[in-house]
Amino acid sequence: MYANFYGFRTEPFHVTPDASLVFLTAAHREAIGVLEYGLRVRKGFIVITGEVGVGKTTVLRHSLRRLDPATSAIVYVLQPALTPHQLLTFIWEELSGEADPIPQPWAADTGELIRRLLFRLKQLHTQGKLIVIVIDEAQNMPVETLESLRLLSNLENDKQKFIQIVLAGQPELDEKLARYELRQLNQRIAVRTKIGNLTPLEALSYIDFRIQAAAGRRLEVFTHSALDYIVARAGGNPRRLNIFCDNALINGMGHRAPVVNREIAQEAVEPHLSHEERSSFPTLPAWMTQPVPQARRMRYALAGAAVVTALALYVGTDLFPGAAPAARTIVQTRREAAQVAVLPREEMPVPDVAPSRDVLITAPARPAPPPVASYKVENQDSLGQLCQLVYGICSRNMLQKLASANPTIDPDKLATGQTIYLPVIENLKPVVP
């Protein structure tokens, strides 16, 4: 829908798992390693748990896709709310290929069904095949059905299990397996792993990976403040990241915005949040979330220090009478012996004011590299687009240095005709078109 507008070859934020856009964090790789180890050494029962949307299904499909169809037989159960007889029937049909539209007379007899199923499992094992039964969303499987899986897993020889059973589900699965009536099944689980949420850094890398994979190149479609907002709201959940980014890009296309800013992202994400999430995450104005140039940060820091010092002196003279004479003496002496230093504006010369003895003199901040060229804005909407144009690439560090060289501009909204000064950044000289 928005792919052509933003220059994607395909939409990057599908909610359903996409093999071409798989991004594996350390937690996902660990889960894949544990799963494949359990299958390779035939441990019998393997359990994978994690919150909704963390990528359990992605891990399962990624690992199962790596199994050789010629040497494996896989039964993937997507609907776990089955009775024991229904589950056994489904497994029999998948492994035998006999899914007759008209049920056979023996199909209603659970004992006969189990006998035929065990015979088929022995056949496949004799052929050297790895037999895997995967139960997704296993927390919804009835207790009786889980117990029937335990009985089915009893088929084994002296060395290994004939059948491998993978249970994947939400944390409620661990609670269900801990129940007294399932203690025998719980004791047979040899391999367990848990997938957690993404860290903020992993979430940013996840979004960047999806964008590059879908575009075939690097694209800047979100401002930094929009990305920070989306990551904070998603809480490290990949599915929520997909939903929020997808809706933000749709909303950005509706606004005809070449880059999605924080306001557009917030407008798209807020309807997906619960009342508790909105109240626990106060909305900050945009000026508090935008990156501040170095020169402006220095001015804010000096002004804040002056205010704090004045308040400290004022409170000291009023609340601590014993300290009042000393405080008044300090104030009076400074007023008589020195000028009152006023923070100069950029266009005014800086007066030479000698500091008093009790002032700590620190080394000046390193200035931004001097500009080697300038450029008058034509149709670039943001400093990021201009950075990409004149340097060929644009990282967050480069964008901050370019903003430091131009402290009076708004990085997210350039005006036509504005003069932008272009220094050498990371040994890259600007190429003015």
pLDDT digits over 68-83, tens only?
A: 888 999 999 988 999 9
Question: What letter represents residue 59's amino acid?
Answer: V
Question: What letter represents residue 184's amino acid?
Answer: Q
CATH second-level architecture of 200-289? Orthogonal Bundle (1.10)
* Residues contacting 124, CB < 8 A, separation 6+: 73, 95, 131
Using the structure block, give the residue that is written with the tokens 């040899």: 190
Inform me whether the pLDDT recorded for 176 exceeds 50: yes
Average pLDDT, stretch 285-291?
Answer: 44
pLDDT given at position 169? 94
Q: Record the tokens describing residue 381, joined without a space.
A: 């909407």
- Find out whether 130 and 72 touch, Cβ atoms under 8 Å: yes
Residue 105, Cβ neighbours under 10 Å: how many?
7
What is the Cα–Cα distance from 129 to 39, expressed in whole angstroms?
Answer: 12
Q: Record the tokens describing residue 383, joined without a space.
A: 């400093």
Inform me whether the pLDDT recorded for 150 exceeds 80: yes
Domain ranges of the chain: 26-195, 200-289, 292-365, 371-423
What is the Cα–Cα distance from 267 to 253, expressed in whole angstroms?
Answer: 13
What is the Cα–Cα distance from 43 to 377, expressed in whole angstroms?
Answer: 65
Rg for the chain, CA atoms, rounded? 32
Inform me whether the pLDDT recorded for 308 exceeds 70: no
- Find out whether 248 and 269 touch, Cβ atoms under 8 Å: yes
Higher pLDDT, 398 or 260: 260
Inform me whether the pLDDT recorded for 205 exceeds 70: yes
Inform me whether the pLDDT recorded for 221 exceeds 60: yes
pTM check: above 0.75: no
Q: Record the tokens describing residue 251, joined without a space.
A: 């909303």
What is the Cα–Cα distance from 174 to 179, expressed in whole angstroms?
Answer: 9
Average pLDDT, stretch 344-367?
Answer: 42
pLDDT given at position 200? 92
Inform me whether the pLDDT recorded for 143 exceeds 70: yes
Inform me whether the pLDDT recorded for 354 exceeds 70: no
Inform me whether the pLDDT recorded for 292 exceeds 60: no
Indicate the class that CATH gives domain 26-195.
alpha beta
Average pLDDT, stretch 369-385?
Answer: 76
Inform me whether the pLDDT recorded for 106 exceeds 50: yes
The answer for 422, left when phi > 0, alpha when psi is -120 to 50, beta otherwise, is: beta
CATH topology of domain 371-423: Membrane-bound Lytic Murein Transglycosylase D; Chain A (3.10.350)
What is the Cα–Cα distance from 404 to 115, expressed in whole angstroms?
Answer: 76
Using the structure block, give the residue that is written with the tokens 């800013």: 261
What is the Cα–Cα distance from 317 to 205, expressed in whole angstroms?
Answer: 53
